[in-house]
Structure 1
Amino acid sequence: MGDDRFDPSGLTALVLDENHFERGIALNQLRMMGFGQVIGAARADEAWERLKQAKPDVFLLEWVERTGDGIDLVRRIRASDELPNRAIPIFMLTTRGRKTDVESARQAGVDGFMRKPISALAMQQRVLKIVTEPQPFVEAADYVGPCRRRQADHMYRGPRRRLEDIVKEAVLEDAADEAEVKSEVARARVAILEKRARELAPGEIRAAARVYVAVMALVEIGELLGDICLKRSAEEMARYIKAQGATDRLDPEVVRTHVAALHQLVHLEHAQAEERLRVTENLKRMVDKKLRHAPASDAA
């Protein structure tokens, strides 16, 4: 089924994420996709009640690394006799991306695994694929969930394949690999920045300095990779930190919001230039707004 035939206006989506900001992003993306109703939950027990009462058609949930609630909830859903639809399409949202994590999620019974932050376009493509082309639901002694087999015709390497086709694919794969390496470098730098931002508190000079060093390293990476949006976005964060200094005006939540947006940026493909530019411009507006209010704080 193509995109033009997919109308989610009569569907309900549920999002479980303990992070209010990131939960809001996912809910807004689902609204933009056209879902008739979107529901948010901050805790696993709250999501469980929503699953029973609202009977959603799609469920997106955060891994919740500290407690493991995400994986446990998926298993509970798949094994449940009290839910109206235990075969509901489930997507795991997480900043984790190790192969073992993906396999753990699949073994628990998820339909899809999305690295956060995920762009609106990527989310739409993943949700569309699962909702319109669902895998058969399997109920076995050791597993309950969507069939884990995947069609792999495009991976066929038999003798009937033409050499020129294989060469073309190799060239495309090399280009894709190079782009992915660059993306991984940027993501690694953002991960370091995120760690530094978690340590930040108002008035802590050393913590503020570590954040500033990390964001300037990201500016340099953006320039080296030729990623103008990444460079400009990191420069905006550096501008905010430098202007506020290690004082009470340096709001850790503003910094962490900026980091979340940078996460989104480094996970957006370069082909999505318009969306990447929108993220960059939104960050500039946020910094402009915060700095306009800084003199008032001084006067107080």
Structure 2
Amino acid sequence: MSARRSLPSTNLTRADLSELCVLVVDDHGHTARLIADILRAGGVGRVHVKTDSKHALASLHAINPDIIFTDRMMPYMDGLTFAQTIRQAALVGGDVVPRPEIPIVMVTSQAALLDVELARQAGVNEFVLKPFTPAALLSRIELVLRKPRPFVVSESYVGPDRRRKAQLDYSGPTRRRSDPVEMSDAGERNLTRQTIAVELAALRRLIRARGGLDRSLMQMTHRVIQHTRFRALQVRDRTVERTTNSLLAYIDAVGGPEACDREILEVHFDAIVTLMGIDEADTAQADKIIRNLELTVEYKAAERLKEEARLKTEMPIAV
């Protein structure tokens, strides 16, 4: 049997997060706002956004952030150069960079080994792979705070100790395709449920903060549910697995995440949270909750088909 793995820590309290100051650097305004909204919804007290790395560098002394999230590809100064400039301040000194050892999390769509190695050489602490979920962002905060690595200063390299392998989009109990598909350990299941609870809570706060579901949030919700189902499968959490299957079936039935009814999403979120609080031996209550969800999905799907049929019959006939 393989050695036990633990989830990325996700148990920072909102009180812990409320004391943090995070700087988000991304030239794509929509992505920068989305990251900032997720961090605020997750409980981060202060979030500053800069749309280019030069202005971000100039603001470091005034903001003095605890963590930096930076995009990889940016004009004028890309994320690698930005990270290197911060790290090199440990050698050259000056007042521009108050803390060269500040944790840097790179948000990137480039996950090739060469890209990862270049980022590690630049002194990046952690990675988040696009498209990301709330848990992916929040777990990186947890990692850099709970598991800090020694800061190395030498002529050949400045940055966090590179001996630990990078974790790209790791947001579940396993991170290699060769890992076992299922793990039955009760401790793993509890840790998995903690991660699911953190992610759903952050997602719901984000939806409320934005006043509803736009296209990007619907797509993120779909990814969150897919991740939740994968985690449930890994730890044999059958009740959560069935609930996510129900929601994914609904999304497929209505034609994709953009066509979903927010009420149906909320009902499934409530069910997942409720099921995770039920004693696993109480299968009758779990079955009742899941069956009600499945009936609701069937009803909504049937109603949608009826409405589509009605609209077709009312369409004027071209002559």
Pairing 1:121-160 to 2, within 5 Å after superposition:
121-150=135-164
In the alignment, is residue 283 of structure 1 matched against residue 239 of structure 2?
Answer: no
CA 1:16 to 1:65, structure 2 compared with 1: closer, same or farther past 3 Å?
closer
Q: CA deviation at 1:137?
A: 0.4
Q: Which runs of 5+ in 2 are unaligned?
A: 1-8, 167-175, 183-213, 230-242, 262-319
Q: CA deviation at 1:271?
A: 4.0
CA 1:10 to 1:65, structure 2 compared with 1: closer, same or farther past 3 Å?
closer
Normalised by the length of structure 2, the TM-score is: 0.51
In the alignment, is residue 58 of structure 1 matched against residue 58 of structure 2?
Answer: no
SS of equivalent residue, structure 1 residue 96: coil
> Aligned partners of 1:45, 1:275: CA distance in 2, in Å?
43
CA 1:128 to 1:4, structure 2 compared with 1: closer, same or farther past 3 Å?
closer
Say how many residue pairs are matched: 188
CA 1:67 to 1:103, structure 2 compared with 1: closer, same or farther past 3 Å?
farther
Normalised by the length of structure 1, the TM-score is: 0.54
Pairing 1:101-180 to 2, within 5 Å after superposition:
101-150=115-164, 173=179, 175=181
CA 1:65 to 1:9, structure 2 compared with 1: closer, same or farther past 3 Å?
closer
User: What's 2:45 paired with?
Assistant: 36
- Give 1 or 2: higher helix fraction: 1
Structure of higher RCO (CA pairs closer than 8 Å, 6+ residues apart)? 2
Contact 2:218/2:257 (8 A) holds in 1: no
Q: Which runs of 5+ in 1 are unaligned?
A: 153-169, 177-256, 287-300
In the alignment, is residue 86 of structure 1 matched against residue 100 of structure 2?
Answer: yes
Cα RMSD between the aligned structures? 3.6
Q: CA deviation at 1:77?
A: 0.3
SS of equivalent residue, structure 2 residue 22: strand
> Aligned partners of 1:151, 1:61: CA distance in 2, in Å?
19
Moved more, 16-25 or 261-270: 261-270
CA 1:139 to 1:29, structure 2 compared with 1: closer, same or farther past 3 Å?
same
SS of equivalent residue, structure 1 residue 145: strand
Percent identity reads: 28
Contact 1:90/1:112 (8 A) holds in 2: yes
SS of equivalent residue, structure 1 residue 272: helix
1:164-198: per-residue Cα shift (whole Å, max 9, x none)? xxxxxx9972648xxxxxxxxxxxxxxxxxxxxxx
> Aligned partners of 1:126, 1:62: CA distance in 2, in Å?
14
User: What's 2:35 paired with?
Assistant: 26
- Displaced runs of 4 or more, over 3 A: 65-68, 260-269, 273-278
One-letter identity of the residue aligned with 1:101: D
